[in-house]
Amino acid sequence: MSTLFGELRSHIKIDYSLEPKTAFVIRAGGDSPDPTAPDNPFVRINTPYGYSIYVPGSSMKGVFRSHIESILKALSKEVCGFSHQRGADCGKKEINRGTLERENDGLLRYRNSCYSCKMFGSTAVGSIVRFDDLFPYKPENTREEKMKAVTDIEKYLNIRHGIKIDRKSGSVANRALYDIECLSGGQFFGSIFLKNPEKWQLALLLKTFAHINHGYQKAGGQKSRGFGHVHLTIEKISCLSKLRDKIVFSSFDSARGFIDDPMSVFHSSDTFPPYSFEFSGEALEKFEADVNSTLSRAW
C-alpha cells in the first residue's frame, strides 16, 4: 500500500505577504539587559542583512492551526486536544497495547489521527504543511535591497503603553505599567509548503487566508486589546505534480492506503516529470475556486 510521503504526487508552494492593519506584535522571550528597552520587544533575529524584525513561521502555523481546528469542530470533525478530554493528543492515543506514536505502521498512525493532526502533524504523524519565517524582504531581492528593507521596517515601530486595572477598585494597579513594541505597517514575505496534501487540507488553508483578511482570526499578541489584524496576500501558488495536466492530490483509502486524487489544470510546458505549474492573477483565482469547491462536495 502507498504511503503519504513515499512518492511525489504534488508539492505546493504558496508565496504570500503579510501587512499589519492594526498594531501587531510578536513578542520576544527573555529579558533585555538594556534598561531603555521596552518591556515587550518585537522578536528579532540576526540575518546576513542585519538584525531584523521578523514573523516566526511557528507563530503563523499556530494562527492557521487554531482557526482550522475551529472550522473542523464546526463541521463535527474529530480534533484532539480541542475537546474537554485531557490527554487527548493523537500521539498519546492507546492502540494495540501501546501509544499511537510508537506504532510502526504509518498508515495506521494516519488513520487513527484526528483531522488536525493529519494536516499539521503530531508526535505520531508528520506535518503536511510547513511554514517559513517571514522577513521584510523577498528572497529574490538583491543584498542591498534586503539590507535597506531591514532598516526601513524599523520606521513602523511604535511603543504602546499598557496598564493593569484593579478589578476591585477600578483604578490602575500598583506597578502595572508596561511597554509593548509593536508594528503599525510594513510588509513581510514568506512561503507555505504542502507535501502531497489532500484537497480538503489545501481548501481549509485557503479559506483561512480569507477569514484572516476579514478579521475573524487575528495574529500575534494583545489581540483582545485591538492588536493583530493583518492582511495576507497570496502572490502566487507554485506546484510540482507527477501528471502533466493535473495536480495530483492525495486521498486516504482505508483499504488501499494513499491513492491519487487528480484535479485537471492546464498543460505544463515541462517535458519530463515532475511537471511544474504556476498560478497568479486570474489563473490563481480560478485555481482557488476549483479547490474550494471540492470542500463542499466532499463534506
User: Which H or E run contains 278?
Assistant: strand 275-279
Structural domain boundaries of the chain?
A: 10-298
Split at pLDDT 50, 70, 90, the class of 175 is: low
User: Minimum mean pLDDT among 4-8, 83-87, 122-126: which range?
Assistant: 83-87
Consecutive H or E run containing 61 = helix 57-74
Cβ atoms of 265 and 277 within 8 Å: the answer is yes
The answer on pLDDT for 68 being more than 70 is yes
Residue-level pLDDT at 209: 97
- Please report, rounded to a whole number, the percentage of residues in the chain having pLDDT higher than 70: 86
User: Cell numbers at residue 22, please?
Assistant: 492594526
Mean pLDDT value across residues 10-22: 96
Residue 216 amino acid letter: Y
Q: How confident is the model at residue 84 (pLDDT cuts 50, 70, 90)?
A: very low
In our burial notation (b when 16+ CB lie closer than 10 A, e otherwise), range 249-279 reads bbbbeeeebbeebbbebeebeeeeebbebeb
What global pTM score does this model have?
0.88
Task: Express each pLDDT in 124-164 by its tens digit.
Answer: 888 999 999 999 999 999 999 999 999 999 999 988 776 66
* Span 251-282, pLDDT tens digits: 887 777 788 888 999 889 898 899 999 999 99
* 230: pLDDT strictly greater than 60: yes
Q: How many CA atoms lie within 13 A of 11 on its CB side?
A: 12
